[in-house]
Amino acid sequence: MANMRLYMAPGSCSTAANIILEEMEETFEAVVINIPAGENRRPEYLAVNPRGTIPSLLLKDGGVLTDLISIAEWLGRHCRRGRYWPADPAAQEHARAIMRHVTDIIHGQGFARIFVPQAYGREAEQTARTMAEGRRIATQALAEAAGMLAPEGYALGAFSVVDPILFYVAFWADKTKIPLPARLLAHYRLMLGRDAVYRVLREEGYDPTQLGKAA
């Protein structure tokens, strides 16, 4: 197989994987999965990822990675001579802790309630409560994430695969008008200035010049 293949959906958590691949200047094929149309439940995609989730990354040797943290760490370790993954074991564990906080708490408990409130109950009153709870969880968890970062610059000081993962939830906060803590807002704006981020956002249908303006 000549290239890697990323199964993704524009504007989703897979944007982080898309950015990492662009940052590493890897040649890859992007396959858009239309989740509202149920393409993630079709047999051809379930053969790639039986859970039907995105992103999935098909590697050159035919192996498949089916969750964002695994994709980020694998790319960080194996591409660009590992320059985007920390060498120190303590820093590696800190990187994983930040990524888990993003995917499990900010995304999995906060934004999941905002974007898919019907999964928690279908009555209108219950939906409104669920979305409000999601905003509360996301706001608190974003503040906690800000405290996990290096004082300035990127998440670990130098750019790493952790930064695109932080970026996607900051992007969601921007789009849903959830205020970002000062440290995360500075990180978000720093990421918006990177060429790879600009290219990916444009490819996925967004105007980067309209993002990161809210204080």
Task: Return d(Cα 206, Cα 11) in angstroms, integer.
Answer: 8
| Structural domain that includes position 114 | 89-194
Do 165 and 102 share a domain, yes or no? yes
Do 94 and 74 share a domain, yes or no? no
Do 78 and 94 share a domain, yes or no? no
Do 164 and 113 share a domain, yes or no? yes
Which distant-in-sequence residues (6+ apart) come within 8 Å of 204 by Cβ?
10, 11, 15, 18
Do 151 and 105 share a domain, yes or no? yes
Pair type for strands 4-8 and 28-32: parallel
Q: What is the pLDDT of residue 142?
A: 98
Amino acid at 145: A
Question: What's the whole-model pTM score?
Answer: 0.95
Task: Return d(Cα 28, Cα 1) in angstroms, integer.
Answer: 11
DSSP-assigned beta bridge partners for residue 150: none
Do 97 and 187 share a domain, yes or no? yes
Number of domains, the chain: 2
Task: Return d(Cα 174, Cα 155) in angstroms, integer.
Answer: 18
Tell me, yes or no, whether 214 lies in a domain.
Answer: no
Q: What is the pLDDT of residue 2?
A: 62
Tokens 């969601």 locate to 172
Q: Can you give the CATH number for the domain in which 69 is found? A: 3.40.30.10
pLDDT in tens, the chain (215 residues): 468 999 999 999 999 999 999 999 988 999 999 999 999 999 999 999 999 999 999 999 999 999 999 999 999 999 988 899 999 999 999 999 999 999 999 999 999 999 999 888 777 788 999 999 999 999 999 999 999 999 999 999 999 999 999 999 999 999 999 999 999 999 999 999 999 999 999 999 999 999 998 75
Q: From 50, 82, 114, give the residue that closes a domain.
A: 82
Which distant-in-sequence residues (6+ apart) come within 8 Å of 167 by Cβ?
15, 16, 19, 187, 188, 191, 197
